[in-house]
Structure 1
């Protein structure tokens, strides 16, 4: 996971540097239809909505799993910490 993060951060860093140097106005017309899914028609819009719902689901389920691990650790009477080992 760290390898992926390292390479993606370099790629997005270069992309963000280009936007900072050239300005965002020239890219707004290109990326807005891609981001909203409009460029792929109704299927793209549906994919965009499903991606947003997946983000909400994974956020909520991650919090739920973390709370379960927290409760299980508390039940074992271990010193409380923010992260598990």
Structure 2
């Protein structure tokens, strides 16, 4: 199990670092953007019926997105990097495999810890609570 854990970490370590860093940037940007005002909607065309103002952002016209601030554009771009969409199907597959590798690391890491834990209990006749769960 250690051999698989070690070689998988070498293979997917950089991809997982990429996903972690872009995820932190996306979440940090979203938290920062919560305090930023949204841009105002474009004025209505002349002769268009007047719509009564309501709370919240104005509705978008059919097939049209409201204007985005530069920060929101950057967050969208980094989100596509994070999910692998920016690199097409290859990027999305690598992102999926990196997520599966993270699950594998969690399970194999716990498995190795249990193996070491049971081995330590066999070696130590009367272990203290600290010796039972942690190495020195």
Match of 1:46 among 84, 93, 101: 93
Name the SS of the counterpart of 1:84 in structure 2.
coil
Aligned residues: 71
Kindly report the root-mean-square deviation, in angstroms, between the aligned alpha carbons of the 2 structures: 2.7
Greater relative CO (CA pairs within 8 A, separation 6+): 2
In structure 2, the partner of 1:84 is: 135
Structure 1 residue 41, shift from structure 2 partner: 0.2
When structure 1 is superposed on structure 2, of 49-58 and 72-81 the one drifting more is 72-81
- Greater share of residues in helix: 1
Q: Structure 1 length as normaliser, TM-score?
A: 0.67
In structure 1, the partner of 2:78 is: 31
The 3 A distance-change label for structure 1 pair 78 and 40 is farther
Match of 1:58 among 105, 109, 129: 105
Greater C-alpha radius of gyration: 2
Q: Structure 2 length as normaliser, TM-score?
A: 0.44
Q: Is the 8 A contact 2:30 2:75 kept in 1?
A: no
CA distance in 2, matches of 1:38, 1:20: 19
* Per-residue Cα deviation, 1:2-55 (whole angstroms, up to 9, x for no partner): xxxxxxxxxx7xx69x74895266232111111111000000001001100110
Flag structure 1 segments of 5+ consecutive residues without an equivalent: 1-11
Q: Is the 8 A contact 2:84 2:94 kept in 1?
A: yes
Flag structure 2 segments of 5+ consecutive residues without an equivalent: 1-20, 35-70
CA distance in 2, matches of 1:47, 1:21: 27
